[in-house]
Structure 1
Amino acid sequence: MRYPTADEAELEAAVEAATVAVRRGELVVLPTDTVYGLGADAFDPAAVAALLAAKGRGRDMPPPVLISAQTTLDALTTDVPAYARTLVEAFWPGPLTIVCHQQPSLQWDLGDTRGTVAVRMPDHPVALALLERTGPLAVSSANVTGEPAASTAEAAEEMLGGAVAVVVDAGPSSGAEPSTIVDATGPQGRILRRGALSLAELNEALEPFGVTLVDEG
């Protein structure tokens, strides 16, 4: 079912419906600052498996995790280097995904992560309102693999409708490009996927610290 978010009452109804669905282990479509996302409870292995199945992906392509506050990064990851924290301070909330070593004590199964997790804090009020209630969500772009990422709720519903319990509709997404992904598991950061943030923008933030990223995207 698709829920509009044109006013406060609609927004509350949409966020509540999506929260209930997530807690039931169901999939939801949510807006972000880049494109629409397909979300599931990050700590529910069956829900994450359903997300991958809906997209037509295997365990070799684990989804990133969206969070509502910078402080949650330390609850999910370990050994975060200083340059990664600098980027988080500069670009969160925003279109930056950071890949870090995950906390070994976490009881979840996002796929074949090899001990890492990709984390992002989106710059979208509806997404943040939902994340504040649900906690971390495993979120991938709301499309079937091989198809364009959905920039509207209608497009997401058309591709994924049968697999999704709730679609939160906040109008067309404002970002045409996906987030930039930075691997922060080593002493020098590497861009794994080019996106909304350029290498120049990222390195400008790191310049005072004498650190530069390598572009492998």
Structure 2
Amino acid sequence: MRIIDSSAQWDEDVRDSIAAEVTQGELIVIPTDTVYGIGCRADDPHAVTRLLAAKGRGHHMPPPVLIADPSDMQRIGTNVTDVAITLAQNFWPGALTLIVQAQPELGWNLGQTHGTVALRMPDLPLMCDLLRVTGPLAVTSANLTGQEPATTITRACEYFGEKVATYIDGGPSGLAIPSTILDVTEETFRPIREGAISLEQIMEVLQG
């Protein structure tokens, strides 16, 4: 277990060493533009199982996936709707998670997703830098199920301890509110969780 101060220690060597850990199936705790997250490679089913176990969550609650670029949504998703594209154009990077139909050949095992995947591009350059090296990461809020999400690295360490290989300390969370989650698998949207972005903001964009 190590703690990396992203403001003082972040460089390509540190980034690549963290990416190597992720490739080996390790869990990491990361800052995002909302709350801290705990994550692993999205395409590693064993790591995803460890991730859910660390959080105390079953496969009936699959984790969302962080991506580095909006174009990743077209690669990971299929039949991506105009609504999804419009919302991504207006709110990514940012605190909006979009549930889309997953490519059938994707082969990820994130849990009981019913053929969908929840995607978000974080508004944090450091994380996008890491994601470009690791590829998409399955990331859920850094807390034990039923507890408050961690807004500091200290709290995240209290939750997970040695279960996590590396903790990236980005300072206190700038926005201590989880992302808004929308199901956009159809040509409309269905709110799953209202968070940092209000439904009024969503409607304003879609109504033009």
Q: Provide the TM-score with structure 2 as the length reference.
A: 0.96
Please state if 1:100 is matched with 2:122: no
What SS does the corresponding residue of 2:207 show, helix, strand or coil?
A: helix
Q: Deviations over 1:106-150 (max 9, x none)?
A: 121000100000000000122111111101000000111111100
Paired residue type of 1:50: R
* Count of residue pairs the alignment pairs up: 206
Residue 10 (structure 2) aligns with: 11
Q: Deviations over 1:68-109 (max 9, x none)?
A: 000100111011111111110000000000001000001210
Where in structure 2 are the equivalents of 1:1-217 lying within 5 Å? 1-7=2-8, 10-12=9-11, 13-208=13-208
Residue 213 (structure 1) aligns with: none
Paired residue type of 1:61: M
Judge conservation of contact 2:82–2:187 (CA < 8 Å) in 1.
Answer: no
Distance in 2 (CA, whole Å) between partners of 1:121 and 1:176 is: 17
Judge conservation of contact 2:34–2:177 (CA < 8 Å) in 1.
Answer: yes
Judge conservation of contact 2:29–2:166 (CA < 8 Å) in 1.
Answer: yes
Q: Deviations over 1:27-70 (max 9, x none)?
A: 00010000000010000000000000000000000000000000
What SS does the corresponding residue of 1:35 show, helix, strand or coil?
A: coil
> Percent of aligned pairs with the same residue?
48
Q: Which runs of 4+ in 1 moved over 4 A?
A: none
Query: How big is the shift at 1:18?
Result: 1.8
Query: How big is the shift at 1:154?
Result: 1.2
What SS does the corresponding residue of 2:59 show, helix, strand or coil?
A: coil
Cα root mean square deviation, aligned: 0.9
Gaps spanning 5+ residues in structure 1: where?
Answer: 209-217
Q: Deviations over 1:11-38 (max 9, x none)?
A: 1254233212101100000100000000
Judge conservation of contact 1:183–1:191 (CA < 8 Å) in 2.
Answer: yes
Distance in 2 (CA, whole Å) between partners of 1:103 and 1:150 is: 32
Q: Provide the TM-score with structure 1 as the length reference.
A: 0.93
Paired residue type of 1:111: G
Paired residue type of 1:181: I
Query: How big is the shift at 1:158?
Result: 1.1
Query: How big is the shift at 1:169?
Result: 0.7
Distance in 2 (CA, whole Å) between partners of 1:172 and 1:124 is: 14
